[in-house]
Structure 1
Amino acid sequence: MPVINRIAEFAADMKGWRQQLHRMPELEFDLPRTAGFVADRLREFGVDELHEGIAQTGLVAIVEGRGPGPVIGLRADMDALPITEETGVGYVSENVGKMHACGHDGHTTMLLGAARYLAETRNFAGKVALIFQPAEENGAGGNVMVEEGIMDRFGIDQVYALHNAPGVEAGAFYTTPGPIMAAVDTFEVHIQGVGGHGAMPHETRDPVIAACGMAQAIQTIVSRNHYALDDLVVSVTQIHAGTVDNVIPDTAYINGTIRTFDPRVQQMVMRRLQEIVDGQAASYGVGARLDYVVGYPATVNDPDRAGFAAAVAAEVAGESRVVADAGREMGAEDFSYMLRARPGAYLFIGQGDTAGLHHPKYDFNDEIAPVGASFFARLVERAQPLAGA
């Protein structure tokens, strides 16, 4: 079954919504224009309930079906990124230094398209909760919405989300049972040495050399401290020290990211980082402080719901364009918090041959929005069919 005919009929409207959202990117929880635009559309569609101001600018809209039944949640993220856009499109960001470089404008549009169709047809039992979330990129808005009680407040039994995937055939889908995206943590090392003249290093305790030693030693965590078949990434991404060529500085700074799936691996990395920082600091005669920040947990699909969602995707896109066991990847997602609270699944929809996510030339492919909206709509209808349907 291809794109739903009714959704295809208002595809041009969806394109307009998406491009308007693209013009007005906002960051984290500060999404007044974006949330206002979404709320206006939902009122036009005639949703039964609209709850605003959740996690500051998040929204939950309720659409009631034509019979009693459970509640299914569908989530879209709304926030943009602090990136200066380089697409050159006619609907370029009007907020300099901010852009929708991850396609959240498209995700929001796909869910709005599903909302319009579901509010018109109501060909399902129970209710659907349409979750429009702030602060996915930074701030864990998904966790805030969960902590503010949306799952219990609206009686949500299961929950689903989509993300676009550049480099994958437009309109194709993939997912996997179990873990699909990694937990993400960050670390910072603040090194305190004794600076001095570059010509007299013997009078200093050089934090630059200590930083280099720590960065190299950190690489051994992956190569020598963990089982090779347990997925793990430890990347040093920043080293900052010094200002001029003839002065050894007092301080140095190291920053990096850690990606894991297994909490035991995560704990091992935390322990080894502390041991390396302490040991290298002693070796080089400097002081050092490790700050380890635990971030988003792993995104873990319920196996049964992932299989069900893949089957629904096959109805829309065709079986040959759906991979139901694609394996996991090392990116991270705060939809993980919602999947911790309720069973469900996270899927990717192909965006075609475009610039990658978080790239200044990225732009969401409007051609896939009706496909994603059709997936969401069919998911509701298949999960909660009317009696006798």
Structure 2
Amino acid sequence: MMLDIATVQKLSEFRKTLHQYPELSGQEEETAKRILDFFKDLNPDKTITGLGGHGLAFVFEGNEKGPTTLFRCELDGLPIKEENSISHFSTIPNKSHVCGHDGHMAILSGLGTYFSINKPKKGRIVLLFQPAEETGEGAEAVIKDPKFLEIQPDYAFALHNLPGYPLHQILLKQGAFAAASVGMSIHFKGRNSHSAHPEAGNSPAKALAKTIVALEALPQGMENFSLVTVVHAELGSIAFGTSPSTAVVRATLRAFENETRDLLVSYAEQLATQIADEYGLEISFDYVESFAATHNHPEAWKIGLDAAEELGLDIHHVGNPFRWSEDFGLFSSHTKTLLFGLGSGLDHPQLHEPNFDFPDELIETGVGMFVAIAKKLHY
């Protein structure tokens, strides 16, 4: 047992407190204060605040030279109204931790508790509490922050709880683990007219309809896996005396490789531009929530596999990458990374569902995996 019973209970209660006070991406000020307060008695060798926004990093130093290993979790919640009958229900209207970031924070807090007693013998261990994962902006902000140079890692590890898999199961995969994605908005502009004389204007209605159908068919012509999901469309405004002049289509484009995603974006722009030209419309594009593909490095993957085997955990080798995205993927471009899954239960509500609640039983499993990984590099 990595942690005593009292510590496990303390972490569970801390997780429930975090669950009650979720904050959205980029707004995690109070969450960061709670984390900082938890670590005040753990005596890390260095504490970095304001990292990429409200991010925090706690550094535990060894006496001998060695690698720098980063363990990362997420601070932010979601703009989703919770629908649960739990005692630690979210107290913030229309905001919740229904992705399990509260549990991930509790795991890294438990890791801090362990390292406060069992300092690494060599190298440095960095515990990163990263902001703004849900929007895909946090990892980039952290990496671009000059303070990140102080903790530039040789390895980076993270986990994500995964409903639909047996409780405590470890899900591993070499190479691509989670997809690259981006949110694309296509704006059409025509010309208003009186709704009694629509022929005098230029409505983008037909272009809107054609674009919706054509976008989702785009992946059929792609060699590698890709997916376009139209998530929103809007035509004009509610004005019954006026024909519309504007329209917007919003879609999420994803692929297992950054290059394939970028190619898909290029094809989507070409397609929409052709449709706009066909109907004599102006067109523009903008993008949000850009996530890099998460690629697991062979060396980091082997370390994670060995750790899971030594702990006697049930291991599932994933065949295909997951379609969802994780901004941890950006760390893949800078260091040797491993993102692995931690099963949340076969019948557990899925991520982002309003009745999701992180299983506290996973806290000790997550801490155990990270400690076992650290032992291979720092002890």
TM-score, length of structure 1 as denominator length: 0.90
Which of the residues 290, 305, 323 maps onto 2:316? Answer: 323
1:358 aligns to 2:358 (yes or no): no
Q: Deviations over 1:110-151 (max 9, x none)?
A: 011111012112364322111111111125211111111455
Task: Find the aligned partners of 2:14 and 2:273 in 1 and give their Cα distance.
Answer: 53
Task: Find the aligned partners of 1:152 and 1:93 in 2 and give their Cα distance.
Answer: 36
Aligned to 1:14: 11
Deviation at residue 244 of structure 1 after TM alignment: 5.5
The question of whether the paired residues in 2 share the 8 Å contact of 1:28 and 1:134 is answered with yes
The question of whether the paired residues in 2 share the 8 Å contact of 1:174 and 1:310 is answered with no
Deviation at residue 203 of structure 1 after TM alignment: 3.1
Aligned to 2:340: 347
Aligned counterparts, 1:234-383, within 5 A = 234-242=228-236, 243=238, 247-292=242-287, 295-318=290-313, 321-352=314-345, 353-383=347-377
Aligned to 1:111: 108
Give the letter aligned to residue 113 of structure 2: R
1:47 aligns to 2:44 (yes or no): yes
Q: Deviations over 1:335-364 (max 9, x none)?
A: 112221111200110111221111211111
The question of whether the paired residues in 2 share the 8 Å contact of 1:194 and 1:250 is answered with yes
Give the letter aligned to residue 339 of structure 2: Y
Aligned to 2:140: 143
* Residue 166 to residue 114, structure 1, CA distance change in 2 (3 Å): same
Q: Which moved more, 1:100-109 or 1:48-57?
A: 48-57
The question of whether the paired residues in 2 share the 8 Å contact of 1:310 and 1:323 is answered with no
Task: Find the aligned partners of 1:220 and 1:23 in 2 and give their Cα distance.
Answer: 42
* Residue 150 to residue 354, structure 1, CA distance change in 2 (3 Å): farther
Q: Deviations over 1:47-71 (max 9, x none)?
A: 2222212123111111134644222
Task: Find the aligned partners of 1:263 and 1:121 in 2 and give their Cα distance.
Answer: 39
Task: Find the aligned partners of 2:300 and 2:8 in 1 and give their Cα distance.
Answer: 28
Which of the residues 72, 81, 103 maps onto 1:84? Answer: 81
Task: Find the aligned partners of 2:369 and 2:50 in 1 and give their Cα distance.
Answer: 27
Q: Which runs of 5+ in 2 are unaligned?
A: none
Task: Find the aligned partners of 1:383 and 1:150 in 2 and give their Cα distance.
Answer: 24
Q: Deviations over 1:185-225 (max 9, x none)?
A: 1211111123345554433322111100122222332113x
% identity of equivalent residues: 27
Task: Find the aligned partners of 2:259 and 2:38 in 1 and give their Cα distance.
Answer: 45
* Residue 54 to residue 39, structure 1, CA distance change in 2 (3 Å): same
* Residue 169 to residue 66, structure 1, CA distance change in 2 (3 Å): farther
The question of whether the paired residues in 2 share the 8 Å contact of 1:25 and 1:95 is answered with yes
Aligned to 1:185: 182
Deviation at residue 256 of structure 1 after TM alignment: 0.5
TM-score, length of structure 2 as denominator length: 0.93
Give the letter aligned to residue 41 of structure 2: E
Task: Find the aligned partners of 1:35 and 1:294 in 2 and give their Cα distance.
Answer: 22
Root mean square deviation, CA, Å: 2.1
